[in-house]
Structure 1
Amino acid sequence: MKAWQVARDWSIEGMELTDLPEPVPGPGQVAVRIKAASLNYRDLLTIQGNGGVTRLPLIPFSDGAGEVIAIGHGVSRVAVGDRVCPMFFQSWIDGNVSAAARRYALGGTRPGVLQEVMVLDAEGVSRIPAHLSFQEAATLPCAGLTAWRALFEEAKVQPGHTVLVQGTGGVSIFALQFAKLAGASVIVTSSSDAKLERAKALGADHTINYRAVPEWGKAAAEWTGGVDHVVEVGGKDTFAQSLEAVRVGGTILVIGVLSGFSQQVAIPTLFSKNLHVIGLSVGSRRMFEGMAAAIGCNGMKPTIDRAFGFDAVPDALRLMRKGGHFGKIVVEYP
C-alpha cells in the first residue's frame, strides 16, 4: 500500500510517498481502507517539527474516513462494509478528559491516516452519517468534534446565545454551522470581505473585517452588549480582543494558536468579568457519536474548500500554510 511519511526531516519537503506492507487486523482490531483525509493546522505544525513528536519516520494526519475491509477475532461493534472515521484520541472513549485519554493521538503518538489501509482498535472507530461522502466525513474527527465539544459540552450553547468565531478555517466554520443549528446568533471575523460574504450565506448574523476594524472585540461587544461565547482560535494576536468582546460571566473557548503561542493576559479583566476560560482539544468517541447523530438528523454538510489528490499532499499543506482556505481542505485517496 501507499503511505506518506515525514521521513528525511521535519518539513513539507521532507515528506516521502512510500510503499509499505498492507496490515492485517489482529484480535479486537479492524482494517480500514481510508478513502479521504482532511487537514488540520496541528498536522502542519507536526510536519514542521512543532507538534511535540520527535521520532522519524511518521505517518502524519489525524482525520480520515473509510470503509472497514476486515475485522479481527472478537469484533462485534462494527462490521465489514461499515463506513467509519478513526477517532483522533484512540483511548478516549467516554468520561472526562485525562492524560490517559489523550495518550494515543493519530498522526502524533500513533501513525496517522495518510496510508491507504490502517489497522485500528475496534473501539477506536465510529460510524459516519449516512448522507455524508467520505470526503465530508473526513472533516469530522478533529475540527468538527472540537467545535462540537466547545459549544455543547463546555459552553452549553442555548437558543438566543451569541457566539463569536474567529476566521473561516475548519473549526470556526463548524462552530458557525453548529451554533446556527442550536438557534444562536453568530459573529464571524475575517480579513477578507469575500469570505465574510460566504459566512453570511452559511447563516452568520454579523460580520467584522478585523483589518478594517482592528478593535473588533469592542465592535462585537457593542453589537451584542457582550458576546456569550468566543471560539478563540488565534492565540497571541486575538486573545486580548476576545477579552474585550465577551460579556461579564461569558466563556472563551481556547482551541487554537494560529497567530502564536504566548500572550500577556489582562488578569484583572478575567476576574472583573468573572470569565470562564476553557482550553480544549478534540473530544471523546461518545461526543463524536452525539455530533454525528445531530449532523445526520439535521442533514448538515461540512464545508469543503478544496480537494487534492493523494499524490498532491504537499500542495494541500502549502495551501494550509498560506491560510487562503474557507472551511476544510481534504485529500482524496485513489
Structure 2
Amino acid sequence: MRVYRPETGKLVRRDEPEPEPQRGEVLVRVRATSLNYRDLLILDGEHFTTGPGGLIPLSDAAGDVVAVGAGVTRFAAGDRVLGNFHSHWIAGRLPETLVGYGNGQDGWLAEYRAVPEHALVALPDSLTYEQGATLPCAAVTAWTSLAGVRPGDVVLTLGTGGVSLFALQLAKQFGARVVATTSSAAKAAKLTGLGADAVIDYRATPEWGQAVLDATGGRGADRIVEVGGPGTFAQSLVAAGTHHAEIALVGFVGADGPPVGFMDLFRSGASLRKIWVGSREDTEDLLRWLAVRPLEPVVDSVHPFDDADGAFERFRSRRNLGKVVISVA
C-alpha cells in the first residue's frame, strides 16, 4: 500500500505492507483525509511529539471497514467509518495520557490503517467521505467550544480557519448572533454568506475588541472561540466586555501579542476553558446533531493522494478558505 512519511521536513511516499487487524482492531480503507494547522507544525518540527520520528501524518480520516480482528463487535466489513481525533478518549474527563495521530502514533495519510474499534465512529450516509474527513478535529473542536451556547447569545469567531468556520455555522444553527473577524473583503463576503451578523477587518481595525463591543451595543461576546492565542487574546478580553463571557481556548495560530495581566483578566469577568478537541462521545453527539440539522463543510480544495505535497502547500499558503482535503480512493 502507499503511505506518506516525513523525512527532513518533507513528505516521502513509500510502499509498505498492508496491515492486518489484530484482536480488537478494524482495518480501514482510507477514502479521504483532511489537514489541520497541527499537521503543518508537526511536519515543520514545531509541535510536541511523544512518539518516534517518521510517523504517518494527519489526524482526520473517513473510509470503509474492509476487515475486522477477533473480538470486534462495533463494526463489520462494509461499514462507513470516521476516525475520532483522540483514539483512546471515549467519554468523560480528559485522560491523563493522550497519544495523538502524527505525533505519537501513525496517522491517516495511507491507503489502509488498522486501529482499535473504539477509535472509530459510524459515518452517516448523508456525508461524503470528503465531508466526513473534515470533521474529527475542526468540527468537533467547534462543537465543544460552543457547549452551552443559547439562542440570542453573541459568539465571536476569529479568522477563516476550519474551527472558526464550523463555529460560525454551528452557532447560527444554535440561534446565536455571530461576530467574525477576518483580513480581507473577499473573506468577509464569504463569512457574511455563511451567516455572520457582523464582520470586522482586524487589519483595518487593530483594536477590534472595541469594535466587537460597538457592534453589540456594548454587550460584547458571550462566547469567544479563541484560535489565535498570544496574538489575539488581549483583544478577545476586550471583546468579552465585563459580563462574564466564556473564552474557549482553542489554539495559537497568531503571532506574539501584548502581555495580559491578572487585573485585565479579573476586570473582564471572563472564564477560560481549554479545548482539547473532544471525546468520541462528543464526536457522536455532533453527528447526531448534523443528522437533524445538516450543514455543508466549507472545503477549499480536494487533492488526489499523489498530490499530498500540493495539499500541504495549499494549506501552508493560508490563502485557503475552508478545509484542504486529500482524496485517497
Report the identity percentage. 40
Distance verdict in 2 for CA 1:262–1:74, change over 3 Å: farther
Structure 1 distance, partners of 2:124, 2:256, is: 35
Distance verdict in 2 for CA 1:71–1:261, change over 3 Å: farther
Question: Given the two structures, how large is their TM-score scaled by the length of structure 1?
Answer: 0.95
8 Å Cα contact 2:238-2:268 kept in structure 1: no
8 Å Cα contact 1:295-1:301 kept in structure 2: no
Equivalenced residue count is: 325
Question: Given the two structures, how large is their TM-score scaled by the length of structure 2?
Answer: 0.96
Equivalent position amino acid for 1:159 in 2: P
Aligned counterparts, 1:1-334, within 5 A: 1-6=1-6, 8-9=7-8, 11=9, 14-53=10-49, 55-100=52-97, 103-152=98-147, 156-224=148-216, 225-248=219-242, 249-260=244-255, 264-334=259-329
Structure 2 distance, partners of 1:196, 1:33, is: 38
Structure 1 distance, partners of 2:178, 2:68, is: 43
Structure 1 distance, partners of 2:80, 2:175, is: 30
Deviation at 1:261, TM superposition (A): 6.5
Write out per-residue CA displacement over residues 153-204 of structure 1, whole angstroms, 9 at most, x where no aligned residue: xxx1000000010001100000001101100000111001111111111111
Gaps of 5+ in 1: none
Structure 1 distance, partners of 2:188, 2:257, is: 27
Deviation at 1:327, TM superposition (A): 1.6
Q: Tell me the secondary structure at the aligned position of residue 247 of structure 1.
A: coil
8 Å Cα contact 1:66-1:85 kept in structure 2: yes
Q: Tell me the secondary structure at the aligned position of residue 146 of structure 1.
A: helix
8 Å Cα contact 2:33-2:109 kept in structure 1: yes
Deviation at 1:312, TM superposition (A): 1.2
Structure 2 distance, partners of 1:139, 1:109, is: 21
Gaps of 5+ in 2: none
Write out per-residue CA displacement over residues 34-65 of structure 1, whole angstroms, 9 at most, x where no aligned residue: 00000000000000001212632110010111
Deviation at 1:226, TM superposition (A): 1.2
Deviation at 1:129, TM superposition (A): 2.4
Distance verdict in 2 for CA 1:144–1:322, change over 3 Å: same
Structure 2 distance, partners of 1:262, 1:21, is: 47
8 Å Cα contact 1:235-1:263 kept in structure 2: no
8 Å Cα contact 2:231-2:257 kept in structure 1: no
Write out per-residue CA displacement over residues 228-250 of structure 1, whole angstroms, 9 at most, x where no aligned residue: 11111112221111011013200
Equivalent position amino acid for 1:126 in 2: V
Structure 2 distance, partners of 1:228, 1:135, is: 33
Query: Cα RMSD over matched residues?
Result: 1.3
Equivalent position amino acid for 2:42 in 1: T
8 Å Cα contact 2:140-2:278 kept in structure 1: yes
Deviation at 1:137, TM superposition (A): 0.2
Distance verdict in 2 for CA 1:82–1:261, change over 3 Å: farther
Structure 1 distance, partners of 2:177, 2:169, is: 11
Write out per-residue CA displacement over residues 62-93 of structure 1, whole angstroms, 9 at most, x where no aligned residue: 01110111011111111111111111111100
